[in-house]
Structure 1
């Protein structure tokens, strides 16, 4: 029986069916081992994480002169710009000594007012800001107040 095994082994060597070591200099080797190749046969590679969104703050401000003139701005890129713009808007509307009542970012704001006074508040939602401003106004003055202004400055996605 040993005599019959040798011709089979010789036949396998002659036909190339015995696994030979890969030639690392061959193009086939590089195609199968290059992770950028469509012929890559290596293990699974972890895909890079998707880039996370980048958000930019947006500011708003409310300025008043104490005599019923307001300057209100939203969606500004910085607190300083929002404050300066609100004061300028107040002056453009005829206000005298305009000062910033409220500066806020990435949220909402409202002004609750009546003929006696006004109050500015910020909150995560527009309704909450309105309720806070009107509630404070009515509690302070003892009279009905209305929403004079409400709006939001929310962060914007920049990528």
Structure 2
């Protein structure tokens, strides 16, 4: 029994060391080989050893300057396989506003969030509640009587975002 436990501890130690060396090598490689072209990215290296980094595909960064009552943006789309979407919204104005992110064809609303003055929201949708279809989206801001001011960022990933 003691011999089996020793073998198990030795195997775990070797595996941990190999993982640390692989991660250190992957993160140090860009600095060591600056200017050298490579067909394997550090993300590929990490995925090959079972670590799933975030591969961001589609991004929308939108600054609300307070000049429109209900601004609309049609510049966000989700590529197939990248249905894990994260929303970041910050309200720097004096009135609350509501953000709606709706699929253009299916009319599926993947986010409907209200942001109070001075607050930040950061919800995620990991292709559930509801599912996130690939395609184009309209991001609509409803400001009511106010003029929305702040920032809205949307990012899609092939890897699920951690639950907040």
What TM-score do the two structures reach when normalised by structure 1? 0.24
Structure number with higher strand proportion:
2
Higher alpha-carbon Rg: 1
Structure number with higher helix proportion:
1
